[in-house]
Copies of this chain bind each other. A is one copy, B any other.
Amino acid sequence: MNGAQALLRTLVDGGVDVCFANPGTSEMHFVAALDAVPEMRAVLSLFEGTVTGAADGYGRMADRPAATLLHLGPGMANGLANLHNARRAHTPMINVIGDHARYHKGFDAPLESDIDALTGWLHGWSRTSKASEEIGADAAAAIAAAMQPPGQLANLVLPADVSWSDGGVVGEQVEPVAAQPVEDDRVAEIAKIVRSGEPVVLLLGHGTTREQGLRAASRIAVATGVKLFAETFPARIERGAGLPTIERLGYLAEQVQWQLSETKHLVLVGAKSPVSFFAYPGKPSELVPDGCQVHVLSVLGEDGTGALEHLADLVAADARPVLQEATRPGVPSGALTPQNWTEVIGALLPDGAIVSDEANTSGLMIPMTTAGAPRHDVLTLTGGAIGQGLPVAVGAAVAAPDRPVVCLQADGSAMYTASALWTMAREGLDVTTVLLNNRAYAILRMELSRVGATEAGPRAQQLLDLSGPDLDFVSMSNGMGVPASRATTAEELADQFAKALAEPGPHLIEAMVPPLL
Binding site for B on A (CB under 8 A): 21, 23-26, 28-29, 31-36, 38, 42, 44, 46-47, 49, 73-75, 77-78, 80-81, 84, 88, 100-101, 103-104, 107-111, 113-114, 117-118, 120-121, 160-161, 164, 233, 272, 275-279, 281, 285-286, 382-385, 387, 412, 415-416, 418-419, 422, 425-426, 443-444, 447-448, 450-460, 462-464, 466, 468-476, 478-481
Residue numbers in B under 8 Å from A448 (CB-CB):
28, 31-32
Q: Please measure, in the bound complex, the distance between the C-alpha atom of A277 and the C-alpha atom of B110, giving whole angstroms.
A: 6
Residue numbers in B under 8 Å from A460 (CB-CB):
31-32, 34-35
Given A80-B80, A109-B277 in contact, is the A447-B25 Cβ separation under 8 Å?
yes
B463 touches A44 (CB 8 A): yes
Would you mind naming 24 contact pairs between A and B with Cβ atoms under 8 Å apart?
A: A24-B447, A25-B277, A31-B444, A44-B462, A77-B81, A103-B285, A104-B276, A104-B285, A108-B272, A108-B275, A109-B275, A109-B285, A110-B383, A111-B277, A111-B385, A161-B279, A415-B422, A418-B418, A425-B469, A426-B468, A471-B480, A471-B481, A475-B475, A475-B478
A84 touches B73 (CB 8 A): yes
Top 3 nearest A-B pairs (CB, nearest first) are: A469-B481, A475-B479, A35-B457
Look across to chain B and name the residue whose beta carbon is closest to the beta carbon of A44: B463
Given A84-B77, A109-B276 in contact, is the A469-B480 Cβ separation under 8 Å?
yes
A451 touches B164 (CB 8 A): yes
B160 touches A458 (CB 8 A): no
A77 touches B77 (CB 8 A): yes
A463 touches B42 (CB 8 A): yes
Look across to chain B and name the residue whose beta carbon is closest to the beta carbon of A117: B121
Q: Please measure, in the bound complex, the distance between the C-alpha atom of A419 and the C-alpha atom of B480, giving whole angstroms.
A: 14
B459 touches A26 (CB 8 A): no
A160 touches B84 (CB 8 A): no
Q: Please measure, in the bound complex, the distance between the C-alpha atom of A251 and the C-alpha atom of B100, giving whole angstroms.
A: 16
Instruction: Taking A32-B454, A470-B481 as given, write out 13 further A-B residue pairs in contact, using a Cβ cutoff of 8 Å, ordered by the A residue number.
Output: A25-B278, A25-B444, A31-B453, A35-B458, A47-B416, A77-B81, A104-B285, A107-B275, A110-B383, A114-B120, A118-B121, A426-B469, A475-B476
